[in-house]
Structure 1
Amino acid sequence: MCLIDYKISTYEEAVQVVKEVGLLPLSPLIPHYPSLDSITSKEHWYSGSEFDPWLWRAQFPVDGVAAYGKFVKKKSVLISREFLPLVSAILGSQYSVAKRYNDGLVSREALELFTLISEEEGIDTRVLRAKAGMKDKEKKKVFDNALLELQGSMDIIVSGTKEKTNVSGEKNGWSSTSFETLAFWSKNNHVDQRKIETDEAKHELKNHFEQLCGPESMKALVKIFKL
């Protein structure tokens, strides 16, 4: 079990939890480990109020508190600014997306989306899909998979959400996600840019989680980060 039991109701409290644990999934991902879903009241989700954790998720990257994206097992997680260099050293790559593409390690669609995001940091998902020529229904899965690929390798992050508006500027439909490259977000939010060796990162993460988690949680974390 996790050695700290959280129950929160405000965004400010959520910020403190993210800073303490370093890694906070949105929904249960690691046995006996906190998630934003498990430490908040179900009644507040999707309420649209200031107590709505669904709205908080996009506020963390905007405020520079945490990087947000589907970094682990294709699931959404928050990684604190302080923890980001450690996690990136393990899950990310030291080689550029272009080099990995040339080496056959990255899909053509992922390279294309990464290039577009690099050229327009903070791009709206709807705009990105249109510019990539993937607006057709049959291309949605390819588009989604390319975004998952880039998040899983920590090349891009969710930088926030943008409201859909009509010609009058009024809200019209669901908000959409926006993306930035991890490098751009890190620079803007003063993330430690020093190069961390993978073994050093694993050692620091293991020490941190061992103080926070019990055996079942550690077993899952060891598998995720190859500690």
Structure 2
Amino acid sequence: MTTQTRSIHTYEEAVTVIKEVGLLPLAPLFDDYPSLGGMTPKETWHSDTEQDPWIWRTQFAADGVAAYGKFIKKKAVFISKDLLPLLLAALASQETMEKRYEKGEVSREALTLFTLISENQGIDTRVLRAKAGMKEKEKKKTFDQALLELQGNLDIVVSGTKEKQDENGEKNGWSSTSYETMQHWCDKNQIKVLELKKEEATEKLINHFESFTSEATMKKLKRIF
């Protein structure tokens, strides 16, 4: 049975797959490439049981199994603890956020959110939006785009979800996402940055992915790296 055709029924099985493939999209992202959505029974999603992959997604991050965020093509993916240093070496900037802002490489909104997240690790989206002065309806798109920018640059990760509660402590409405910086997540999970050149890291990534996916999918992955 190949990774693509394997069926996942438990959290432990999902952890095994993430460790094996290194990069696992939440929903199908490439042809001939595994995803959590494609490997789990549809009826288990949002079932609020131990078999619910929607619950697993933040547990992976909380347990230090994988970094979680919209890192690729604005889509949610999991990057295993072991593969993350290679991806950071290949894709992440080595310069500070402030330096990149001065060079015009990141937006003012992204800098604002990154600063707030750095000062409030694990901050709830609702609180972050309020602190950033973006609570108005017309600013939601700008806020969401800045969050996507930071995730796409591997600057921040999803740290979990927080339930919205009423004054009695009862669940009231949708849960919201919370964020922390990539550096903070790496530090608390004892992930060390590799002293590798971008080209060397990219070559190692290509060798890894070529072992279990098609040539057509590899062409798409190479465009990312």
Shift of 1:5: 2.8
Contiguous gaps of at least 5 residues in structure 1? none
Matched, 1:56 2:56: yes
SS at match of 2:57: helix
* 1:119 aligned onto 2:119: yes
Q: 1:223 to 1:39 in 2, by over 3 A?
A: same
| Pairing 1:47–2:47 present | yes
2:216 aligns to what? Answer: 216
**Aligned mates of 1:159, 1:195 — CA distance in 2:** 26
CA displacement at 1:108 relative to structure 2:
0.5
2:131 is matched with: 131
Structure 2 unaligned segments of length 5 or more: list them: none
Question: Judging changes above 3 Å, is the alpha-carbon distance between structure 1 residues 194 and 224 closer, same or farther for their aligned structure 2 residues?
Answer: closer
Residue 3 of structure 1 and its aligned partner are, at CA, apart by 6.2
Name the amino acid aligned to 2:224.
Answer: I
The aligned amino acid for 2:178 is S
What SS class does the counterpart of residue 184 from structure 1 fall into?
helix
TM-aligned CA deviation for residue 194 of structure 1? 3.1
**What's the offset of the Cα at 1:191?**
0.8
Partner amino acid, structure 2, of 1:68: Y
Residues 1:157 and 2:157 are matched in the alignment: yes
CA contact (8 A) 1:85 1:196 kept: no
In the TM superposition, 1:1-227 aligns within 5 A as 4-225=4-225
Q: Which amino acid is 1:70 matched to?
A: K
1:4 shift after superposition: 5.0
TM normalised by structure 2 equals 0.97
**Corresponding residue SS for 1:211:** coil
Q: Which amino acid aligns with 1:180?
A: E
Q: How much does 1:223 deviate?
A: 1.6
Kindly provide the amino acid, as one letter, of the partner of residue 137 in structure 2.
K
Q: CA deviation at 1:95?
A: 0.7
Q: Is the 8 A contact 2:89 2:201 kept in 1?
A: yes
Q: Could you tell me whether the CA contact under 8 Å between 1:82 and 1:192 is conserved in 2?
A: no
Given that 2:4 and 2:32 are in contact with CA atoms closer than 8 Å, whether structure 1 keeps it comes out as: no
| Counterpart Cα distance in 2 of 1:120 and 1:64 | 19
Letter in 2 for 1:48: D
Aligned length: 224
Distance of aligned partners of 1:215 and 1:3 in 2 relative to their CA distance in 1, 3 Å threshold: farther
Query: Which amino acid is the alignment partner of residue 175 of structure 1?
Result: S
Identity of aligned residues (%): 61
Aligned partners of 2:155, 2:214: CA distance in 1, in Å? 31
Instruction: Tell me by how many angstroms 1:30 deviates.
Output: 1.2
Cα drift, residue 91 of structure 1: 2.0
Secondary structure at the aligned position of 1:90 is classed as helix
- The answer to whether the 8 Å contact 1:31/1:220 transfers is no
Partners of 1:27 and 1:38 within 8 A in 2: yes
- Give runs of ≥4 in structure 1 deviating > 4 Å: none
Query: CA RMSD, aligned part only?
Result: 1.1
Amino acid at match of 1:144: D
Partner SS state of residue 179, structure 1:
strand
